[in-house]
Amino acid sequence: MPDTEPLPQGTDAPLDLASRLTQDHHQSLKLWLRMLSCTMRIENEIRSRLRATFDITLPRFDLMAQLERHPDGLRMGELSKRMMVTGGNITGITDQLEHEKLVMRVTDPHDRRASSVKLTEAGRAAFNDMARVHEAWIEELLQDIPVEDKAQLIVLLARMKDKLNDATFR
């Protein structure tokens, strides 16, 4: 059913940001709201599953994912930039993970005022377990989308990202 047709009366379709669209809206707005709706539905499901299965929040998982890619650690400012959140948020998440002995702060030997955060061995093991399960969840959530469609979406979204990175609104 096209996005612009009203749903039959009595239909219990999930409401999301894209549900308010009409044929009068600009195509770019339709695209943005459709992408946002899909992202939010997947993100909400992953948040729920992470909490229920591992008793961890998505931001804590994301911070651990950043650190897993950088075994020597990352400075707080770099984590903030990569995760697109404030330094205060990074500090709070790091404090929680440090309390649970999943990360540790390491003083920079060349600049004693600066420190990096890195995964502990326990943190690396916990993250690896979560990452395997997380990947299976994503595969499950997107399993009904044909491989060719996924490949096309990846190409199109990469092109969009490049155009947005080239945009003058930075």
How would DSSP label each residue in the chain?
A: --TTSPPPTT--PPP-GGGG--TTS-HHHHHHHHHHHHHHHHHHHHHHHHHHHHS--HHHHHHHHHHHT-TT-EEHHHHHHHHTS-HHHHHHHHHHHHHTTSEEEEEETTEEEEEEEEE-HHHHHHHHHHHHHHHHHHHHHTTTS-HHHHHHHHHHHHHHHHHHHHSTT-
pLDDT in tens, the chain (170 residues): 344 444 444 445 555 555 666 666 688 888 888 899 999 999 999 999 999 999 999 999 999 999 999 999 999 999 999 999 988 899 999 999 999 999 999 987 788 888 899 999 999 999 999 999 999 999 999 999 999 999 999 999 999 999 998 876 65
Give the architecture (CATH level 2) of 56-166: Orthogonal Bundle (1.10)
